[in-house]
Structure 1
Amino acid sequence: MLFRRQVLEAKKQTLTGRVVLIQPLSLYGISAALFALFVLILFYLSQFEFARKETVKGYLAPQKGVITLYFARSGVLNQLWVEEGLEITEGQPIARIQNSQGLTSGKERTTALIQEIDTQLKMLEKKRTISDALFNKQTLTLQHQLERLNQSLSAINKAKQTNTIRLDLQTQLYEKRQTLSQDGYLSATALIEAQEALLEYQEANQTIDKEVSSLQVEITQIQTQQQLLPEQHNLKLLEIQQQISLLQAQKVELNSEYEFTQKAPKQGTVTAIQAKVGSQVSPSTPILSIIPTNSPLELELLLPTRSAGFVQQGDTVNIRFDAFPYQKFGLMTGAITSIDKALILPSDKALPIKTEQAMYRVTASLPDQFMNAYGEEFPLKTGMLAEADIILETRTLLEWLLDPIYAIQGKL
């Protein structure tokens, strides 16, 4: 035996009960705290959201754009009838430009030409008046001539009627004398006298017929003149009117060369007046700008091509105006309303913001047309620069932490 009996007996006698391992109480608290912290962190990661944004620059512009008005002619700005902020209507005169060219005599060239045209116009008007008077006089003369001819014709016709009666009587007398002469009761001389008288009446009738024919020809000529006279007069008037129209056209052209009135192309508000009275201007000189009526301001953003992939209509935009520091006056929240499908190249358009790369133009609406500052409302103005954060998407921190795993799954 390896052990003595006494040793084995001693081994059989043990303490009553079971073995219990006692741990410190602080270990339970730490475990519970760590679990609660894990749950809290998991809840925070799943509930806390942050926005992925794209920061771009932009400027304010009217919804219908800004109309920049240029001079149509070269010359000197003589008058300017508008001022900043004035509401104007379409077609309203805005400015007047003069282009003066002097002569050696010291007289203005255009003025001298216009005066000469006015003199010619007066002469033509006088010529037209004389033509009207001459027409009236000729008409009256022809009328009197026609009346006299008709009176003469009437008198000759009456004379012919009388002579015809006498001719008939003489014819009857001659026939009776001829019968008597044949019967021997009348001498040949008496018969010859009756025949001569008959011939005289016949000749008188022929003469009267010739006079009637002559008078009828004259009457026809007078009537023809009466018909032609108005047409000839109208033709003269048309020629005079044509000359007057040509001279008036020359006058209008000279006036337009010398003096031109610039008018408003659209209804709106005058802004950005650049021209000054007395200054030399040209077609490349801008006069002023017009903001069309019912054209609220909106924000035009220039979006680089690298940032255009996820921008959509309706995206929220947080706007910081340079004129109103956001640290003091806060942000303005807008929304994307449109995204251009074509790129704007640096050479395509003069933009308030300098850019050296191709951009997409993104338009955002504004909730207000003013900013609240110091208890007052300050209106926003065209051309104000701004910086905007376009909110592309909102994600939780948990999604952000798991994003690499999603990316790996996508590659697999």
Structure 2
Amino acid sequence: MSSMLFREEVLAAQTRQSLGAIVLMQPLSMRCAAWTSVFLVAALGFFLVTSEYAPRVRVSGHIRPIGGLIKAVTPQFGRVVVCHVREGSKVAAGQVIYELSSERNSENRNIDSGITAVFAEKYRLLEREQSLQVEQWAGRERALSERLQFIAAGLIRFEQEISLQKQRVAIAAQVVTRYRSLRDAGYVSELQIMQHESEQSEQFARLQALERAKLESQRDLAQTRSEVEQLHSQIAINNLQILRARAMLDHESAEQLAHSRIQVVAPASGMVTSLTAVVGESVSAGASLATVVPTGGELEAQLLAPSRAIGFVMQGQSVRLRLDAFPYQKYGYLEGSIVSVEQSPLSAGGSEPTYRITVRLAQQFLSVTGQRQQFRPGMGLEADIRQRPQRLVSWLFGPMLGAVKEHKS
């Protein structure tokens, strides 16, 4: 029996086969899935290439007036005795907000009251000194005035006596001239002429004595007038000294009053907030007793960003703000833009350094149920700072490409 390469059953099956070879058909769903995958990959690539991503930095802060709040501080230690305003009151620049007393006591004795009594005694002594000096100058001025009157009257008498004496001298000269003519005629003796010449000389000597006395009186008159002028100058100098002493005393008294009664005034016009002291409370020097919000000033947002978030924050970037007082889920966001970014940190101690960011608000109010709700200084908020956008492909693959370049270099 000869052996066969194929079995008889196989050969018989081939002779009976009439339908042809079997072909495996690929399902239609697999083809659609492949094309769909290709489309999705292409769409994803197009999206990554054309789309952009803007990273955001979230920071916190608060609302404040442009230029900041103004503090009213006390210059020295004291006790509050009067508060002239209430929270939210409008004040003008220089208006008194608080009055403080700095009275000091020692051994059951009020030191400030004792100092006040000392100043009162100084004023009394100064007035007494001025009164005595006025009386002294007035008495001396009266004496000089009487002396001037006496000298002037004496000069008038001297003028009269000199005029009469000149007449006597003239008469004596005429008598001597007549007797000389009579002597020449032989009617009188030489002795008689000598007697009349002697009388003429005596009258002339009296005239010279009167003129010398007149000169002495004129000299006394000039000296007395000079003394009067000196007296007036001394009175003026004395008055100036009294005024200077009173001014110094007034200054010392005012300083003492300023130290014992202190006024804390508003540094600017605006609304008073944060009254921190009550009547009877003692406050230390430099303590902030009130805060003044300037009138008419717009508000801005001040943000504090940690150092890890400040790298790409810059002027002009837009900011989306969420006010704590107005939930953003109901009232939405508030838009703003960065005005300035501080270059130096505010604190670098144990905590992370923070940088101040100033944001200009797009509006100064929110509309709540049809009414404008004005923002108030001190309102807390959170902010999202939208930084420079970048394409998604560079955002996704940028770190990897950077690492590759760094590895190659």
Q: TM-score range by the shorter chain?
A: 0.7 to 0.9
Superposed CA offset, 1:177-209 (max 9, x none): 345446643135533432342233123213312
User: What amino acid is the match of 2:213?
Assistant: E
| 2:203 alignment partner, SS class | helix
Structure 2 residue aligned with 1:352 = none
Structure 2 residue aligned with 1:226 = 228
User: What amino acid is the match of 1:172?
Assistant: Q
| 1:393 alignment partner, SS class | coil
Range 274-283 or range 80-89, more displaced? 80-89
| 2:57 alignment partner, SS class | strand
Verify: 1:357 aligned to 2:370, yes or no.
no
Structure 2 residue aligned with 1:57 = 60
User: What amino acid is the match of 1:215?
Assistant: S
2-structure distance, mates of 1:105, 1:399: 82
Residue 317 of structure 1: CA displacement?
1.3
Superposed CA offset, 1:108-133 (max 9, x none): 44334334433543553465466556
Structure 2 residue aligned with 1:99 = 102
Verify: 1:392 aligned to 2:394, yes or no.
no
Residue 64 of structure 1: CA displacement?
0.6
**CA separation of 1:206/1:276 partners in 2, compared to 1, >3 Å: closer, same or farther?**
same
Mapped contact 2:324–2:381 kept (Cα < 8 A): yes
Counterpart pick for 1:90 among 93, 118, 124: 93
Verify: 1:381 aligned to 2:376, yes or no.
yes
2-structure distance, mates of 1:324, 1:60: 13
Residue 280 of structure 1: CA displacement?
0.9
Mapped contact 1:73–1:97 kept (Cα < 8 A): no
Structure 1 residue aligned with 2:302 = 300
- The share of aligned pairs that are identical, in percent, is 25
Counterpart pick for 2:320 among 309, 318, 338: 318
Superposed CA offset, 1:77-123 (max 9, x none): 111222222333332222211122357786x4433433443354355
2-structure distance, mates of 1:362, 1:410: 35
**CA separation of 1:102/1:22 partners in 2, compared to 1, >3 Å: closer, same or farther?**
closer
Residue 259 of structure 1: CA displacement?
0.8
1-structure distance, mates of 2:318, 2:295: 27
Q: Let me know the Cα RMSD of the aligned residues.
A: 3.3
Verify: 1:330 aligned to 2:332, yes or no.
yes
1:1-150 to structure 2, matched below 5 A, reads 33=36, 37=40, 40-41=43-44, 44-45=47-48, 49-102=52-105, 108-122=110-124, 124-125=126-127, 127-128=129-130, 131=133, 135=137, 139=141, 142-150=144-152
Residue 318 of structure 1: CA displacement?
1.6
Mapped contact 2:71–2:267 kept (Cα < 8 A): no
1-structure distance, mates of 2:32, 2:107: 112
1:265-280 to structure 2, matched below 5 A, reads 265-280=267-282
Residue 369 of structure 1: CA displacement?
2.5
Mapped contact 1:53–1:393 kept (Cα < 8 A): no
Residue 331 of structure 1: CA displacement?
1.9
Counterpart pick for 2:169 among 146, 167, 170: 167
Range 77-86 or range 129-138, more displaced? 129-138
1:121-270 to structure 2, matched below 5 A, reads 121-122=123-124, 124-125=126-127, 127-128=129-130, 131=133, 135=137, 139=141, 142-178=144-180, 180-181=182-183, 184-270=186-272
Structure 1 residue aligned with 2:13 = none
How many pairs are equivalent?
385
Mapped contact 2:59–2:303 kept (Cα < 8 A): yes
2-structure distance, mates of 1:246, 1:405: 82
Mapped contact 2:59–2:305 kept (Cα < 8 A): yes
**CA separation of 1:102/1:307 partners in 2, compared to 1, >3 Å: closer, same or farther?**
closer
2-structure distance, mates of 1:201, 1:346: 114
| 1:73 alignment partner, SS class | coil
Verify: 1:370 aligned to 2:365, yes or no.
yes
Segments of structure 2 that go 5 or more residues without pairing to the other structure are: 1-23
1-structure distance, mates of 2:97, 2:254: 20
User: What amino acid is the match of 1:90?
Assistant: A
1-structure distance, mates of 2:108, 2:167: 87
| 2:362 alignment partner, SS class | coil
Mapped contact 2:72–2:264 kept (Cα < 8 A): no
Mapped contact 2:72–2:265 kept (Cα < 8 A): no
Mapped contact 1:302–1:361 kept (Cα < 8 A): yes
User: What amino acid is the match of 1:289?
Assistant: T
1-structure distance, mates of 2:399, 2:176: 153
Segments of structure 1 that go 5 or more residues without pairing to the other structure are: 1-20, 348-354
Residue 344 of structure 1: CA displacement?
2.0
User: What amino acid is the match of 1:361?
Assistant: R
**CA separation of 1:30/1:366 partners in 2, compared to 1, >3 Å: closer, same or farther?**
same
2-structure distance, mates of 1:217, 1:136: 24
Superposed CA offset, 1:115-172 (max 9, x none): 4433543553465466556656655654454344223212312321221122122123
Mapped contact 2:76–2:286 kept (Cα < 8 A): no
